[in-house]
Amino acid sequence: MVETGRILRFDEMRGYGFISSSHGGEDVFMHANDFLDDKSLYTPGSVVEYTVEEGDRGLKACDVQVVQHVPASGSATPRESASPAKTPAPSQLSRELTEFLLEADPTLTGAQIVRLRKRLVEFATDHDWTL
């Protein structure tokens, strides 16, 4: 089944990134070997279609094709587009946590990021922090 989502992050040097599914849920790992288009089109915010399979480390996108390209220079990062006075939407929070974790440690796998994000949300909830 073909899914749609937006690219959260793509590291062109390492050839991998993550897609936020339009249906919500776990982010999907993507690798340049599974791209059907030129990898320069895979920029944050771009809409893609893909099929999903269960990989060794979590969900993995296959046959990834760009549906709507967002130029890299024209796209705002989640942090730039967030209003500091408002609580981010869950999908925005997910993107921001993903960016934060990858900036802290670019070697994290998709599965590790998902576990860390889940634990951070649980920690905040346990301490009555508003996210």
**Domains of the chain in sequence order:** 2-126 (2.40.50.140)
pLDDT at 91: 59
Please report where in the chains the tokens 């634990």 appear, as a residue.
Answer: 119
Is 34 in a helix, a strand, or coil?
helix
Which residues lie below 8 Å from residue 128, measured CB to CB, with a gap of 6+? none
In terms of C-beta density within 10 A (0-12 exposed, 13-18 middle, 19 or more buried), how is residue 99 classed?
middle
Return the pLDDT at 92. 64
User: Which pLDDT belongs to residue 85?
Assistant: 40
Long-range Cβ pairs for the range 21-25 (8 Å, 24+): 24/91
Distances (CA, A) of 116 to 47, 63, 82, 89, 98: 25, 27, 21, 18, 9
Distance CA 104, CA 12 (A): 18
* Per-residue pLDDT, 39: 83
Give residue 77's pLDDT: 41
Along the chain (131 residues), what's the average pLDDT of each consecutive run of 10 residues?
A: 90 89 87 89 91 86 92 51 45 72 78 79 71 54
